[in-house]
Amino acid sequence: MSSRFDYSRSSVIALALAATSSIVAAAPCDIYASGNTPCIAAHSTTRALYSAYTGALYQVKRGSDNTTINVAPKSAGGVANAAAQDTFCSGTTCLITIVYDQSGRENHLTQAPPGGFNGPESNGYDNLAGAIGAPVTLNGQKAYGVFISPGTGYRNNKVSGSATGDAAEGMYAVLDGTHYNGACCFDYGNAETNNLDTGDGHMEAIYYGDNTVWGSGAGSGPWIMADLENGLFSGLGATQNTGDPSITYRFVTAVIKGGPGNWAIRGGNGASGALSTYYSGARPSGSGYNPMHKEGAIILGIGGDNSNGAQGTFYEGVMTTGYPTDATENSVQADIVAAKYATTSLVSGPTYTVGGSVSFKATTAGYTDRYLAHTGATVNTQVVSSSSSTALKQAASWTIHTGLGNSGCYSFESKDTAGSYIRHYNFGLQVAANDGSKAFKEDATFCPQSGLTGSGSSLRAWGYPTRWVRHYANNGYIASNGGVHDFDAAASFNNDATWATSTGLA
Ligand SMILES: *[C@@H]1O[C@H](CO)[C@@H](O)[C@H](O)[C@H]1NC(C)=O
């Protein structure tokens, strides 16, 4: 080499640049483009999905003044600048208002409008996701996913370039494999353009969860299935396909593709290894499914008719035109694995020691003699002092446990009623016996962070990251800042949702 080449400074630089560009991994949409099945939409709050993309990934709105910022990758093709969000949202609450389309077609996802089912917002729209519910790291760099609670959803009904009718398309999404439920429907993909159920075959979307009303896979779920409208399909029919496995990965790559006469479900671990094919073959025989009647809207977190009872977490996903080859998808999976998704802490602020006890004192002026306590099943605030009875002190004391629904957060057992925990139910707080159900465990799990006022501690409901433990009219709620209920009132929100913590009073 050295005898044949002149290593002048400029040629060394040129060689270095060539080497650098050749080792820059193509991002998912570069890979789909080289497979002649380009992305028509690319959505991610965690990273750029084109190696050259430098534009906005998502928009957040903060509660303190309703202003917004766009969060972009830190570098071309890179990970989202989560620090920009953290700075902007410091001392207040934030919602994800827009997930931008990186394809250049402006197929952005925004708050889903009312449909066959209406959302919980006063105007019938779905809720927006809280901005901090799904923290992760990619190659060690912090980013946030879109944590979909029941009632939350995003949509675009005017999509440019998406598959309609029986035309071919592909899609993938990277999801949290541990965040799901059996309600309808945590979807990402192609849906009706009018928010209504317009019939069999009018959708083609990734579904993730353990719903068994239609199809199912092996074991007890959750499964990757396809929502083709009026049915979740694990294979040929809306029945059981034991080739569609229960998923146990923390990060899941879910793939659906469909073209004239055939379709496929593929999946794998989003943090290692390859994709497997769980189904590939003929269309379901039901009337509307062959040919398909795709309409071309894009939904996230809901069903095509805005059914919004499901939950799940979305990190990234794309829609393509054309039927991607398995080889193309396998390269995309390699890129996802190389992005190195990993978990990170869900909490911040004061230390909570499992096995210890804690009491929560209100910090709102005029209420600072009150503690979070309970009277029977009702969680409220009560005036407690050093001269109070032991019974009252116990009613205001809680034993700290590892979160029943997520080990990264905490659950609080009543000091005077062993086996009963603080849980939320219809957004009110209760003390209730642990019935062992997944719903109970999740509703009894809270993620503390540095107090919204800048001191003390605020407790986010794990399953509803827009909602915080708050006292309102001396009762306990999980409240969203400026939401539709009276207990969501924006006035005094930060103070009412910030607690001074101490070792349990009893
Ligand atoms: C934010 O907007 C909502 C709805 O438009 C409004 O009710 C609320 O008062 C606004 N909050 C602030 C702090 O401006």
Specify the residue with its C-alpha closest to ligand 1, atom 14: 65
Tell me the per-residue pLDDT of 188-204, one tens digit each, with 9 for 90 and over: 999 999 999 999 999 99
Question: Catalytic residue at 192?
Answer: no
Which residues sit opposite 259 in a β-bridge? 262
Tell me the per-residue pLDDT of 264-295, one tens digit each, with 9 for 90 and over: 999 999 999 999 999 999 999 878 999 999 99
With 0-12 / 13-18 / 19 or more C-beta atoms within 10 angstroms meaning exposed / middle / buried, residue 327 is exposed
Q: What is the mean pLDDT of residues 337-365?
A: 97
Distance 488 CA to ligand 1 centre (A): 12
With 0-12 / 13-18 / 19 or more C-beta atoms within 10 angstroms meaning exposed / middle / buried, residue 221 is buried
At 341, is the pLDDT very low, low, confident or very high (cuts 50, 70, 90)?
Answer: very high
Instruction: Answer whether residue 25 shows pLDDT above 80.
Output: no
pLDDT at 287: 81
Tell me the per-residue pLDDT of 447-459, one tens digit each, with 9 for 90 and over: 999 999 999 999 9
Where are any strands of DSSP class E within 127-211? Answer: 129-130, 135-138, 141-144, 146-148, 154-156, 169-176, 187-191, 204-209
For the CA atoms of the chain, what is the radius of gyration? 24
Instruction: Answer whether residue 302 shows pLDDT above 50.
Output: yes
- The overall average pLDDT reported for the chain is 95
Instruction: Answer whether residue 8 shows pLDDT above 90.
Output: no
Distance 64 CA to ligand 1 centre (A): 9
pLDDT at 24: 52
Specify the residue with its C-alpha closest to ligand 1, atom 12: 65
The catalytic position among 210, 227, 244, 305 is 305
Specify the residue with its C-alpha closest to ligand 1, atom 6: 482
At 4, is the pLDDT very low, low, confident or very high (cuts 50, 70, 90)?
Answer: very low
Candidate from 10-24, 59-73, 388-402 with smallest mean pLDDT: 10-24
**Nearest-atom index, ligand 1, CA of 65:** 13
């029941």: which residue's tokens? 150
Which residues sit opposite 154 in a β-bridge? 111, 300
Instruction: Answer whether residue 17 shows pLDDT above 70.
Output: no
pLDDT at 187: 98
> What distance in Å separates the CA atoms of residue 187 and residue 209, rounded to the nearest whole number?
9
At 16, is the pLDDT very low, low, confident or very high (cuts 50, 70, 90)?
Answer: very low
Q: What is the mean pLDDT of residues 290-301?
A: 98
Distance 501 CA to ligand 1 centre (A): 30
How far from each other are the two terminal CA atoms of the chain, in whole angstroms?
Answer: 78
Specify the residue with its C-alpha closest to ligand 1, atom 8: 482
Tell me the per-residue pLDDT of 37-80, one tens digit each, with 9 for 90 and over: 999 999 999 999 999 999 999 999 999 999 999 999 999 999 99
Q: What is the mean pLDDT of residues 430-437?
A: 98
Tell me the per-residue pLDDT of 217-255, one tens digit each, with 9 for 90 and over: 999 999 999 999 999 999 987 789 999 999 999 999 999
Q: What is the mean pLDDT of residues 145-158?
A: 98
Specify the residue with its C-alpha closest to ligand 1, atom 1: 66
pLDDT at 23: 45
Q: What is the mean pLDDT of residues 326-336?
A: 98
Distance 66 CA to ligand 1 centre (A): 6
The pocket around ligand 1, CB under 6 angstroms, is made up of 65-66, 482, 490
pLDDT at 238: 72
What one-character DSSP code corresponds to residue 246? Answer: P
Instruction: Compute, in degrees rounded to 10, the torsion defined by CA atoms 58, 344, 462, 391.
Output: -150
Distance 283 CA to ligand 1 centre (A): 48
Instruction: Answer whether residue 12 shows pLDDT above 90.
Output: no
Tell me the per-residue pLDDT of 362-371, one tens digit each, with 9 for 90 and over: 999 999 999 9
**Nearest-atom index, ligand 1, CA of 64:** 13
Percent of the chain scored above 90 by pLDDT? 93
Distance 349 CA to ligand 1 centre (A): 28
Instruction: Answer whether residue 185 shows pLDDT above 80.
Output: yes
Distance 142 CA to ligand 1 centre (A): 29
Best residue among 66, 67, 97 to mutate for probing ligand 1, ranked by most atoms within 8 Å of CB:
66
> What distance in Å separates the CA atoms of residue 331 and residue 274, rounded to the nearest whole number?
9
Tell me the per-residue pLDDT of 99-128, one tens digit each, with 9 for 90 and over: 999 999 999 999 999 999 999 998 999 999
Instruction: Answer whether residue 10 shows pLDDT above 60.
Output: no
Specify the residue with its C-alpha closest to ligand 1, atom 5: 66
Phi and psi torsions of 355, nearest 5°: 95, -20
Specify the residue with its C-alpha closest to ligand 1, atom 13: 65
The catalytic position among 30, 200, 210, 229 is 229
Phi and psi torsions of 82, nearest 5°: -65, -25
Question: Catalytic residue at 305?
Answer: yes
